[in-house]
Amino acid sequence: MSNQFKRRVNRKYLGTYRPRIDGWEKASGRAEFIDDMTLKCRLPNILYAKALHSPYPHAIIKNIDISKAEKLPGVEAILTYKDLEIVSLKPMNAGWTDGVDTVSYERMMWKKLRDRRILGSHAFWVGDEVGAVVAAKSERIGEEALRLIKVEWEVLPFVLDPIESMQPGAPVLHPELSQNNILPAEPIGGADVFVNIGDVERGFTEADINIEVKAIYHNATQGSLDNWCCLASWKDDQLTVWSNSYEADQTRMFLSEMLVIPQNKVRVISPFVGGQFGRGDTGEDPFFIYTALLAKRTGSPVKFKHTRRESFHNTRQPIIYTCKMGSGKDGTISSSYFKSIGNAGAYADHTCFATKFVPQEIVEVSFAHIPNVKMESYAVYTNKIPGCMMRGVGNNQFNLIFGLAVDALAEKLGMDPIELALKNFGHKWEKLPDKSLEAVLHEGARRIGWDKRHKPGKGRTYDGSKKRGIGFSFHPGWHAAWQEQRRGTIQAGIKLNPDGTVVLLAPTVECGPGSNTCNVLSCAEALSFLGVKPKDISWTSTVDTDSGLKDTVQTDSAVSYLQSEVLVEAAAKIRGEVMKLAAKHFKVSRDQIVIEDGIVCLKAQVKKSITVKKLLQKGDLVPIVAMASSRPHNRKTGVPYQATFAEVEVDTATGQTQVLRMIILNDCGTVMFASGAEAQQCGGQCMTVGESLLEEIVYDEKTGVPLDFNWVEYKIPTIADMPKVEPVLFEVWKGAGEYGACGIGEGVVTCGPRAIANAIYNAIGVRIDDIPITPDKILKALGRI
């Protein structure tokens, strides 16, 4: 197959094309998700939590009367903002960490931005969970009870636009934190001007060519099919929470810190999760807390589950970017200045992660050879749905302006943008051109027919009104081992049973990326000396914080290699133990022993051998257990690159854009599981096509009410919207460690919007840099409406 990549090292299992280990379980409907584990027929005394949502974008509850609701049969408890359990809760934010590390309340990422009151009386957006929460015998009774709660609202002025929100006189949302709605600077991310290298102004003066561009990214939502859900249950002072958050240990920390109970009294269980995509990030969400409190009050297990409407809970951070870029006539970029205004929405959460933290990281790995770089950012509160985390956080928004600047500067220089990219961008530990970038761009160009690219808008016309165009964008990866240092130690273990089968101890909440398959393959690889095959290894799909090891969190697809690297160490320990057994069996010293493919023999007498299985049977029949715990490798290896090339067809009569073809190119360092990596590459395009052309949260500007919190109007691409996608994998760059891999799960969604927007420009000769690029924007740009 022409698609198959060139492997650096031929390994037995890793890097192969094969089915997922959970394929049968998932395809047959036997894979259990939290909603399945908490069915009423399994838990007859279950209660359901239903929270009150603000109908106003900005309002205060002056009073609340729950007397009628309390009398409704089937209502078991109502908690309001006046109750002591609620009043005594500390202020917080959602998403204490970016998922990489485990943090306490004191060490949460955004300490100055604790702007959320759990079930407070002040609502900051339409949909804000405020005031009261009901526990009832059915969801329907719970909803009926909410209708019976009489709320006296004081409706306040609101603001939706971040630029308006920064102006004097705008309603101030969180005066205790900011008097002008601009989020205060934090140590993470830094000051308003958070990067200032060299002298950008001088750079622009000295440059031969300067360009200025603008790009706007909207607030797409993650759209996991498996809505947020948890079930809380108490046995005396022991709390158990079933959750579909993707970080069980961090959820335990969160519950323990917020409810002030010892960690050994909190148990969190997370089964398979039906898609995470970054929602809520580490998931320190108020609903966990009030559900646990309702369970305590009622003495029954209480389940909380978002409806689809409520699942519009947080989004990608909308950002308005401007960029000025200057270069010499030869295309050597001398100066780059980026300025952004991020719309945080109602709560700060991880907005500064997108606006500051991520671009700062990009400077190190992509702008290292540009002498003058300045970055400035303002994140602003508004009365919209909060921005939090979404797959490709910050990178997607940055790429939309970055890829535009490269395209526009190249055009003004009369230069090929691929040449311009290779001439200027790379990390600081290597000379230009970056080999990884070169590989992805050259292959992408070859496949799409880049050399035949016409001038913007100058291509032929198809079917009377359709124009075609091609475009690309590229971006650095951001989950190499050295960038994962903050996680602390990664834990994994191997239990070798006396019959030679293996129980893999590598807890991670499987939400789709396929790291469970990577772990099984890497375990088989590391134990291949014992003759262990993937089918001999069992992996548990449920993470339980009482089981011993900390779970490793699926940010990006970094778990595809993080636990695998640790399993190499665990396998070495297992080898040592088997050697011991063999030495005892043969009555020789350990250095006389050879173990290969499941056979143990003596170095000197190869014929004197015993199978590993037989050897294990001769011992005490106690499984051999090896645990390993180590930090990700810290050697600064730079990062690999990724690129997307797109071909589009724009109907200039209707404004409709059809993506015809996408080529997704990823350098992985080492491909851990080829079919899984390709699934990420092909699959990610559902998100990029959606965010580029279809998906958008639309507000009624007059009332501040979002209009499309459902999947009929908020359009997620189906198979009918999808182009032909070609996944291309590379092993060019190599990180540290045995495998030296890098995550790609987020990167695959990062370059798509810009590649599509550049292709649209190439097709019609007019730039639209405000996504989603809907038919009305195209017709407007063409002067048709």
Partner 1 sequence: MTLQQPCKDPRVSAEDRIIRLKVNGVWHEFYVGHDIEEADTLAYLLREKLGLSGLKVACDDGACGACTVILNGEAVLSCMTLAVDADGQDILTIEGLPKDDPVIAAFAEQSEPGYGTAMQCGYCTPGFVMTVKAFLNENPNPTAQEIKDALSGNICRCGCYAAIAKSVEHAAEKISRQASKP
x-marked contacts with partner 1 along 384-423 as a string, rule CB under 8 A: ----------------------------------------
Stretch that binds partner 1, among 428-436, 487-495, 706-714, 758-766 (CB under 8 A): 706-714
Alpha-carbon span 97 to 350, nearest angstrom: 8
At residue 345, what is the residue type?
A: G
Cα 276 from chain centre: 7
Q: Is the backbone peptide bond immediately before 772 cis, with ω within 30 degrees of 0?
A: yes
Q: Distance between CA 471 and CA 457 in Å, rounded?
A: 13
Q: Which of 35, 101, 430, 770 binds partner 1 (CB under 8 A)?
A: 35
AA identity, residue 674: A
- The C-alpha atoms of residue 345 and residue 348 are separated, in whole angstroms, by 7
Is-contact 191 185, C-beta < 8 A? Answer: yes
Tell me if 44 contacts partner 1 by CB under 8 A: no
- Taking the CA atoms of 441, 445, 451 and 456 in sequence, report the sign of the dihedral they define: negative
Asked if 30 touches partner 1 (CB under 8 A), the answer is: yes
Segment 564-623, which members bind partner 1 (CB under 8 A)?
none
496-515 footprint of partner 1 as x/- string (CB under 8 A):
---------------xxxx-
User: CB under 8 A: which stretch of 26-34, 210-218, 482-490, 542-550 binds partner 1?
Assistant: 26-34
Nearer to partner 1, 572 or 698 (CB): 698
Query: In whole angstroms, how close is the CB of 527 to partner 1 at the nearest point?
Result: 22
Choices 19-27, 55-63, 420-428, 589-597; region in contact with partner 1 by CB under 8 A: 19-27
- Least Å distance, CB 679 to partner 1, is 3
By CB under 8 A, the residues from 174 to 233 that bind partner 1 are 223-227
Distances (CA, A) of 620 to 482, 502, 625: 41, 17, 13
User: In whole angstroms, how far apart are CA 90 and each of 86, 114, 381?
Assistant: 9, 9, 21
- For partner 1, the closer CB: 209 or 716: 716
User: Interface residues for partner 1 in 648-677 (CB under 8 A)?
Assistant: 674-677
Q: Among 222, 191, 183, which residue's Cα sits nearest to residue 343? A: 183
CA distance 477 to 742: 7
Binders in 709-738 for partner 1, by CB under 8 A? 710-712, 716-720, 722, 724-727
Q: Write down the least CB distance from residue 8 to partner 1, Å.
A: 18
The SS3 of residue 776 is helix
Residue 252: phi and psi, rounded to 5, are -60, -45
- Closer by beta carbon to partner 1, 93 or else 222: 222
From candidates 683, 708, 736, 766, binder to partner 1 by CB under 8 A: 683
DSSP structural state of residue 37 = H
Exposed / middle / buried, residue 442 (Cβ in 10 Å: 0-12, 13-18, 19+): middle
Shortest spacing between CB 686 and partner 1, in angstroms: 3
Give residues with Cβ within 8 angstroms of 619, minimum separation 6. 498, 581
Pick one of 6, 10, 42, 463: the residue that binds partner 1 (CB under 8 A).
42
Judged by CB, which is closer to partner 1: 306, or 454? 306
> Nearer Cβ to partner 1, position 35 or 430?
35
Burial profile 153-167: b = 16 or more Cβ within 10 angstroms, e = fewer: beebebbbbbeebbe
Q: Which residue type occupies 671?
A: V
User: From the list 508, 680, 692, 750, which residue makes contact with partner 1 (rule: CB under 8 A)?
Assistant: 680
Closest approach of partner 1 to the CB of residue 677, in Å: 8
Specify the DSSP class assigned to residue 353: I
Vertex 332: Cα angle to 356 and 759 (nearest 5)? 70
630 sits near partner 1 (criterion: CB under 8 A): no
Q: Residue 706: is the preceding peptide bond cis (ω within 30°)?
A: no
Question: In angstroms, what is the minimal distance from the CB of 519 to partner 1?
Answer: 15
Nearest approach, Cβ of residue 636 and partner 1 (Å): 31
Q: Tell me the torsion sign for CA atoms 772, 226, 230, 64.
A: positive
* Tokens 């030679």 sit on residue: 500
- Distance of closest approach, residue 219 Cβ to partner 1, in angstroms: 17
Footprint of partner 1 on 111-170 (CB under 8 A): 137-138, 140-141, 144
**Nearest-approach distance from CB 637 to partner 1, in angstroms:** 27
Residue 15 or 493 having the CB closest to partner 1: 15
Residues in region 436-495 near partner 1 by CB under 8 A: none
Segment interacting with partner 1, rule: CB under 8 A, options 254-262, 449-457, 697-705, 707-715: 707-715
Q: How far is the CB of 78 from partner 1 (least distance, A)?
A: 16
Binding segment (CB under 8 A) for partner 1, from list 11-19, 48-56, 283-291, 435-443: 11-19
- CA-closest candidate to residue 522, choices 542, 502, 541: 502
CB 188, CB 100: distance < 8 Å: no
Residue closer to partner 1 (CB basis): 64 or 689: 689
Measured distance between the N- and C-terminal CA atoms of the chain, rounded to whole angstroms? 47
> Shortest gap between Cβ of 688 and partner 1 (angstroms)?
9
Between vectors from CA 385 to CA 312 and to CA 395, what angle results, nearest 5°? 90
User: Please, which of residues 254-283 interact with partner 1 by CB under 8 A?
Assistant: 272-277
Among 231, 258, 494, 686, binds partner 1 (CB under 8 A): 686
Number of residues that bind partner 1 (CB under 8 A): 77
Site string for partner 1, 53-92 (x = CB under 8 A): -------------------xxx------------------
Q: Quick check: 160 and 126 in contact, CB under 8 A?
A: no
Minimum CB–partner distance for residue 510 and partner 1 (Å): 8
Selected binder of partner 1 within 121, 491, 681, 762 (CB under 8 A) = 681
- Phi-psi label, residue 99: left if phi above 0, alpha if psi -120 to 50, beta otherwise: left
